[in-house]
């Protein structure tokens, strides 16, 4: 299967040959293997894992959607960071900052609270992905 | 008739100005290239979002998401995208005048039209004329980042959703080419999905394929629509930036040329004055010598 990932900063992955992709769907993780039916799935915040001839690799995604058609997987996400490009220390600090801001606010604040919640989840994902590394 | 010294001083000053305008032109050219690259990079993202929104909204009712709902446009917001710095010809005044005309002639037929100003030049213009301003965002064009635009997008969207505005428009300079810009007024909210012919043709091969939607069409649409607002706003900013740099390049180019013309005129004047003073001195000497005889 061929994988493409685009973000607003341009193509992150282009025509990469993969055997399996695990994506963070809105309602839960979903693995895509060759021969999957045509599908459009909304993405949440979470890790994307690729398995291919060149081994395993991980990325942190946030939002967007994926389109599966034939042997093409096209992911669109707000951000897509590769595990080896994330600095663990800085990711940890970002998570601490985000958590502190979240704790200082109240769920009653509506939309603003959801934004903070999302930023904590993003920071958590980045840290997890960075710690897990590219895998094997 | 200015003295030799005065002309010489002018010459040096014009030469220095020319050096500055030439440097500014080169800087603008480099920044223009970067802005164009940014646009190119963001293009696939924007296209994909538009495709999917069109595809999804075609089969769902417009009530499914508040961002798609067209209300009677009583209160509207107009985002005016200008630059923070001048020296770019008519770039800013074109856009400000266009926005003001829109306000004055009530082109959009709104009961109330508020302004949100991106960029210092727009702020200065409308502040002087005492128009009601909803919000000001500075330094957006000088360092365009998606995060910053997303913040603005979120704020504008939130106002639209809670009924503060019934529609949101953006006025910005569309980047035609390095030498031409066009002021456009576009509706940002509510979203009206549009599709051009080329895309319809490109998607013909998808006909008849049964797509699965996870978890549902509506849920995906809900997740993607806010991204669309942001990406459109981001594009307006990127286009404005490219247009600003193009306008500055042209303006500085002609400034450099004008300085060149001025220099040649001044040089001529200088040479004439020099010649005149030499002739005068000669005459004095000759007539002095004549008198002595």
CA of B123 vs chain A CAs: smallest distance (Å): 27
Q: In chain B, which among 227-256 make CB contacts under 8 A with chain A?
A: 227, 231, 234
**What per-residue confidence (pLDDT) applies to A136?**
53
Cβ B92 vs Cβ B82: under 8 Å = yes
A119 touching B, CB under 8 A? no
In A, minimum Cα distance to B151 occurs at A115
Pairing, β A10-17 against β A65-69: unpaired
- pLDDT tens, position by position, B64-73: 778 888 888 8
Among the listed ranges A72-81, B10-19, B50-59, B218-227, which one has the minimum average pLDDT value?
Answer: B50-59
Q: Return the H-helix or E-strand segment holding A128.
A: helix A111-132
Q: Report, as residue numbers or ranges, the catalytic residues of B.
A: 88
Please give the biggest Cα pair distance in chain B.
Answer: 116
Q: Which residues of B touch A115 (CB under 8 A)?
A: 154
B202 touching A, CB under 8 A? no
Q: Which residues of A touch B212 (CB under 8 A)?
A: 37-40
Res B1 pLDDT > 70: no
A43 touching B, CB under 8 A? yes
**What per-residue confidence (pLDDT) applies to B27?**
95
Res B20 pLDDT > 90: yes
CB B264: neighbour CB atoms within 10 A? Answer: 9
**What per-residue confidence (pLDDT) applies to B261?**
96
Integer Cα distance of B85 and B90 in angstroms: 12
Res A23 pLDDT > 80: yes
**What per-residue confidence (pLDDT) applies to B201?**
64
Alpha helices in chain B (DSSP H): 4-58, 91-105, 120-128, 146-161, 197-202, 217-292
Percent of chain B with pLDDT over 90: 40
Q: In chain B, which among 111-150 make CB contacts under 8 A with chain A?
A: 146
Please judge whether B215 and A65 are an interchain contact, meaning their C-beta atoms are less than 8 angstroms apart: no
pTM, rounded to two decimals: 0.83
In A, minimum Cα distance to B235 occurs at A8
Which pair of structure tokens corresponds to residue B113? 């039209």
Percent of chain A with pLDDT over 90: 34
In this prediction, residues A60-79 reach a mean pLDDT of 91
Mutate to test the interface with A, among B41, B45, B56, B155 (most CBs of A within 10 A): B45
- How does residue A104 score in pLDDT terms, banded at 50, 70 and 90? confident
CA of A29 vs chain B CAs: smallest distance (Å): 11
In this prediction, residues B108-125 reach a mean pLDDT of 87
Report CA A72 to chain centroid distance, whole Å.
18
**What per-residue confidence (pLDDT) applies to A4?**
92
- The SS3 of residue B216 is coil
- The SS3 of residue A8 is coil
- Short-list B221, B233, B121, B108, CA closest to B170: B233
In this complex, the residue of B44, B52, B154 whose CB is nearest that of residue A40 is B52
Cβ A79 vs Cβ A91: under 8 Å = no
């Amino acid at each position: 299967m061929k994988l493409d990932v685009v973000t607003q900063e341009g193509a992150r992955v282009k025509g990469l040959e993969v055997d399996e992709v695990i994506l963070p769907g809105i309602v839960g993780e979903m693995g895509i293997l060759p021969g999957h039916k045509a599908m459009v799935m909304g993405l949440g915040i979470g890790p994307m894992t690729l398995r291919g001839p060149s081994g395993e690799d991980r990325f942190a995604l946030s939002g967007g959607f994926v389109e599966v058609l034939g042997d093409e997987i096209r992911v669109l996400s707000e951000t897509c960071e590769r595990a080896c490009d994330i600095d663990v220390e800085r990711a940890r600090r970002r998570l601490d900052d985000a958590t502190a801001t979240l704790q200082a606010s109240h769920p009653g604040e509506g939309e603003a609270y959801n934004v903070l919640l999302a930023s904590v989840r993003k920071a958590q994902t980045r840290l997890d992905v960075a710690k897990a590394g590219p895998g094997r | 008739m200015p003295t030799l010294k005065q002309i010489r001083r002018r010459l040096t000053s014009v030469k220095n100005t020319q050096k500055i305008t030439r440097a500014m032109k080169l800087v603008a050219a480099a920044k223009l290239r970067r802005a164009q690259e940014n646009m190119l990079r963001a293009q696939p993202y924007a296209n994909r979002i538009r495709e999917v929104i069109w595809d999804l909204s075609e089969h769902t009712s417009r009530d499914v998401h508040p961002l798609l709902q067209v209300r009677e446009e009583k209160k509207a917001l107009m985002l005016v995208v200008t630059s923070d710095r001048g020296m770019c010809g008519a770039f800013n005044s074109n856009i400000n005048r266009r926005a003001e005309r829109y306000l004055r002639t009530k082109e959009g037929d709104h009961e109330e039209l508020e302004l949100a100003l991106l960029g210092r030049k727009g702020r200065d213009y409308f502040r002087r004329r005492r128009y009601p301003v909803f919000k000001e965002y500075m330094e957006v064009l000088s360092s365009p980042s998606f995060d910053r635009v997303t913040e603005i997008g979120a704020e504008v969207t939130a106002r639209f959703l809670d009924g503060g505005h019934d529609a949101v428009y953006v006025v910005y300079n569309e980047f035609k080419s390095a030498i031409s810009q066009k002021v456009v007024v576009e509706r940002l909210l509510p979203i009206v999905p549009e599709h051009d012919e080329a895309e319809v043709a490109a998607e013909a091969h998808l006909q008849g394929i049964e797509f699965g939607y996870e978890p549902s069409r509506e849920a995906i649409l809900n997740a993607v629509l806010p991204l669309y607002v942001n990406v459109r706003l981001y594009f307006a900013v990127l286009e404005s930036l490219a247009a600003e740099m193009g306008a500055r390049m042209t303006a500085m180019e002609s400034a450099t040329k004008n300085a060149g013309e001025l220099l040649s005129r001044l040089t001529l004047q200088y040479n004439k004055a020099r010649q005149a003073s030499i002739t005068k001195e000669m005459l004095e000497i000759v007539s002095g010598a004549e008198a002595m005889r």
